[in-house]
């Protein structure tokens, strides 16, 4: 018979678990940016994906997966509504028939441009809320964990 974990341990984990604190913060930030970007017709995840595709040359799936910390299946599912809405186009890679190239369409570029001022305003408010805590140090710590 296993021994029950004491409630004091639950409190310890609640108060110290970095994973829990990062998850809670990520969910809160995601909700905040989702609400802010709603008038532009995007979620925060879609904004990040469109921004990741904002490049001079079309993107391949593997580097995009690494950048966004997504597996291929999750990225494919995230791309479907953007492709359906005409914001992203997928085409065969002429150098590798097994690979696809992804690019923003003109509509995708326009949607991203419309969302950018909203993102900037929301991001500035988030950074202001971190005043004295060091947003740069937080970014560095999160990058170290990623």
- At 133, which helix (H) or strand (E)? none
Q: So what's the pLDDT on residue 145?
A: 87
- With H, G, I as helix, E, B as strand and everything else as coil, classify residue 104: strand
In the chain, beta strands by DSSP E: 59-60, 88-93, 96-104
pLDDT of residue 40: 97
Average pLDDT, consecutive stretches of 10 residues, N- to C-terminus, the chain (146 residues): 92 96 95 98 98 97 94 96 98 85 98 98 94 87 88
Measured torsion, CA atoms of residues 77, 114, 27, 50, in degrees rounded to the nearest 10: 30
State if pTM tops 0.85. Answer: yes
């Amino acid at each position: 018979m296993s021994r029950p974990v004491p409630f004091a341990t639950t409190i310890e984990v609640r108060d110290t678990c970095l994973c829990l604190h990062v998850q809670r913060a990520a969910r809160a930030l995601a909700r905040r940016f989702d609400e802010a970007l709603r008038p532009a017709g995007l979620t925060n995840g879609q904004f990040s994906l469109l921004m990741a595709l904002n490049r001079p040359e079309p993107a391949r799936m593997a580097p995009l997966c690494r950048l966004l910390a997504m597996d291929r299946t999750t990225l494919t599912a995230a791309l479907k509504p953007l492709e359906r809405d005409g914001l992203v186009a997928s085409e065969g890679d002429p150098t590798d028939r097994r690979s696809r190239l992804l690019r923003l369409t003109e509509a995708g570029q326009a949607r991203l441009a419309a969302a950018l001022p909203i993102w900037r305003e929301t991001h500035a408010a988030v950074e202001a809320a971190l005043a004295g805590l060091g947003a740069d140090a937080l970014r560095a710590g999160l990058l170290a964990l990623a």
